[in-house]
Amino acid sequence: MTPDANPEFENILNYIKRNRGFDFTGYKRSTLMRRVFKRMQIVGIENISEYIDYLEVESQEFVYLFNTILINVTSFFRDHASWDYLAEQIIPQIVARKQIDEPIRIWSAACASGQEAYTLAIILAETLGVDEFRARVKIYGTDMDEDALHQARQAIYDTKEVGGIPPNLLAKYFEQFEDRYTFRKDLRRSVIFGRHNLVQDAPISRIDLLVCRNSLMYFNTEAQTKIIARFAFALNDSSFLFLGKAEMLLHSNTFKPIDLNQRIFIKVGKVSKRDRTLLILPNNNDEEVNYPTSEVNLRDIAFDVNPLVQVVVDLNGLITSANERARSLFSLSPKDVNCQLQDLPLSCRSGELRSGIEQAYTERRPLTIRDVEWATSSDNQYFDVQITPLLDLSNTLLGVSITFVDITRPKRLQEELEHSNRELEMAYEELQSTNEELETTSEELQSSNEELETTNEELQSTNEELETMNEELQFSNEELQTLNQELRLRSDKLNETNTYLEAILTSLRGGVVVMDRDLQIQIWNYKAEDFWGLRTAEAKGQYFLNLDIGLPVEQLLQPIRTCLTGQVDYLEVKLEATNRRGKAITCKVTCTPMINIAREIRGVILLMEEIINEEA
């Protein structure tokens, strides 16, 4: 079975669009059919109808089908020569035309798993410096594939995926853990990822460089034209478009090539009215849009403005169309179409309607009439009526679109609960105001999405930082516990050493006095107490020469000084003294310098012994 011979293929595209909101009708049929039939072969189904039934039963099959259709082929610095040209020629131009504090906005469309978005981040960080990059640059990566976007947000790649990055840049911008590489978290905050459909969704605005490589080739000519119009709308004047090697711009007056070999183009023209219309019209491949026919434009634009209860009136006051809900609500029959609005009960029951239409014509802007009552045989209903003037491509006034928003329930709640209704009314008005803003400007919608995405990325980064901080605190706590254990062991060893030293000093036959260089007593052992009757607590910290004991300490001054100068290793002095019992004794005093490991003299040690056999 060949794809070209299957007439039911459009059914599966419409089914996907209707049930999953993915519109692939703009893609080239040959590519789509090849990818879809490949997936059908994998699951063993040959018939389109059977495969649609399979999709209804197996919801997870949509994921596998989309992954097959959306071929995410990408890499870092893919086509290295093109990226070199971009870094050397284009990025400096973008930076040069900006003020020092002006932001730089980059859009990486169809970014897949994020490699090209991070490649842009590396190039801009190299050009601006890391600090200025963080302060000024925003890079928006978009794609339809949620799985690919999830990988892009993680910013984690294996050794094979980072193979295209020069080693010096890999070491500078990625953190390695085993065989995985993570993009720097401080720069990751400047890269925002989100889901975006190039054909259906509004473009990101105020862009300085738009990168969309090897994605346009999957779309047919009509879809490509619409996408290029959106790209032109997104880019600032004289900004740049970077396409893939397999793509060209053959039918665009808005871009001209800077370097065809590298597929880099510059925006040279303003967005035309036709292209602006492409931005608001729905994607419709079943019938061609004829721009010169104002009636077709009137019908398409009016019903695109608001899908609620809606009536369209031309400049002559004739009702040209009314949707099904309007016919049901206002009891309009087919013969009422092309009748004067003023002749119908719809106009008679709302006196403000005609004046509102005249005001909309005069001011050429949408206006809203609130709390309009519509009486029926069974009950009364309340509406907010929005009147929107309709203009064609030449800015000629064609008529108005009248949209009725049912507010009956909030109105009745207001009558029953005044306080509660006040809060509901404020919320409703805020919601209605937001809806009106979203319908009139795609740029404001995108700005809101960007802020939400930025907040989400910042919260994610903050959470990662908090987790890192928690790990660091746990590590510090473990280090403190280890240090505390070491200090406890050292304290035990010190106590043991002090006990050992005290035992030595107690065991010596002579009295021992240890002094520092200022002759302040540091050690006074038990034998010294026994000799002179001065306790250790009384002697410690005293100036040695001030001691009033039976030993003539003033006669030891000169030997002590000699030892402090390092002239001798020791000196012996015999002195006549009186011990604590009043007995006259001959005392031999050995004076020795106290030297530390660094061979520095830190004080003096005196060893005092009684000479027993020698008479005075």
Domains of the chain: residue spans and CATH: 3-69 (1.10.155), 80-278 (3.40.50.150), 298-406 (3.30.450.20), 508-611 (3.30.450.20)
Question: Over the chain, what is the mean pLDDT?
Answer: 80
Q: CA 422, 427, 432, 434 torsion: positive or negative? A: positive
Confidence check: pLDDT of 124 > 90: yes
Confidence check: pLDDT of 379 > 80: no
Sheet holding 174-177, edge to edge: 156-158, 180-183, 174-177
Cβ atoms of residues 148 and 67 within 8 Å: no
Beta bridge partners of 227: none
Cβ atoms of residues 296 and 290 within 8 Å: yes
Q: How far apart are CA 36 and CA 23, in angstroms?
A: 14
Which pLDDT score is estimated for 295? 40
Sheet holding 380-391, edge to edge: 319-322, 309-314, 397-406, 380-391, 367-375
Q: How far apart are CA 523 and CA 605, in angstroms?
A: 9
Whole-model pTM? 0.44
Reported confidence tier of residue 597, pLDDT bands at 50, 70, 90: confident
Confidence check: pLDDT of 27 > 50: yes
Q: How far apart are CA 49 and CA 54, in angstroms?
A: 9
Which alpha helices (H) appear in 281-417, and where do they start and end?
294-305, 324-330, 345-348, 351-363, 408-416
Min mean pLDDT across 158-167, 341-350, 391-400, 607-616 is at 341-350
Sequence-ordered list of residues with C-beta below 8 angstroms from that of 192, at least 6 positions apart, any chain: 138, 139, 140, 141, 450, 453, 454, 457
Min mean pLDDT across 151-155, 189-193, 499-503, 582-586 is at 499-503
188 or 320, greater pLDDT = 188
Cβ atoms of residues 297 and 275 within 8 Å: no
Q: What is the mean pLDDT of residues 540-554?
A: 88
Sequence-ordered list of residues with C-beta below 8 angstroms from that of 447, at least 6 positions apart, any chain: 205
Alpha-carbon separation of residue 460 from 186, 456, 465 (angstroms): 12, 6, 9
Cβ atoms of residues 585 and 579 within 8 Å: yes
Q: CA 570, 574, 576, 577 torsion: positive or negative? A: positive
Cβ atoms of residues 403 and 396 within 8 Å: no
Q: How far apart are CA 401 and CA 301, in angstroms?
A: 9
Min mean pLDDT across 308-317, 410-419, 553-562 is at 410-419
Confidence check: pLDDT of 288 > 70: no
Which pLDDT score is estimated for 281? 45
Q: Which of 134, 138, 108, 126 is nearest to 165 (CA)?
A: 126
Q: How far apart are CA 511 and CA 589, in angstroms?
A: 9
Confidence check: pLDDT of 564 > 50: yes
Instruction: Read off the pLDDT of residues 176-232 as tens digits, 9 standing for 90 and up.
Output: 998 899 999 999 999 999 988 888 788 888 999 999 987 777 677 777 888 888 899
Q: How far apart are CA 592 and CA 562, in angstroms?
A: 10
Q: What is the mean pLDDT of residues 243-251?
A: 69
Min mean pLDDT across 55-59, 153-157, 175-179, 321-325 is at 321-325
Q: Which of 262, 237, 238 is nearest to 80 (CA)?
A: 262
Cβ atoms of residues 575 and 555 within 8 Å: yes
Reported confidence tier of residue 433, pLDDT bands at 50, 70, 90: confident
Which pLDDT score is estimated for 294? 38
Which pLDDT score is estimated for 420? 62
Which pLDDT score is estimated for 71? 61
Confidence check: pLDDT of 486 > 70: yes
Q: What is the mean pLDDT of residues 461-484?
A: 84
Confidence check: pLDDT of 292 > 50: no
Cβ atoms of residues 459 and 451 within 8 Å: no
E strand or H helix at 165, and its extent? Answer: none
Which pLDDT score is estimated for 377? 59
Share of the chain above pLDDT 90, in %: 20
Q: How far apart are CA 513 and CA 239, in angstroms?
A: 89
Q: What is the mean pLDDT of residues 433-450?
A: 75
Pairing between β-strand 207-212 and β-strand 255-259 as defined by DSSP bridges? unpaired
245-250: long-range contacts, CB 8 A cutoff, minimum separation 24? 245/79, 245/82, 245/213, 245/214, 246/214, 246/217, 247/213, 247/214, 247/215, 247/216, 247/217
Which pLDDT score is estimated for 272? 53
Which pLDDT score is estimated for 90? 93
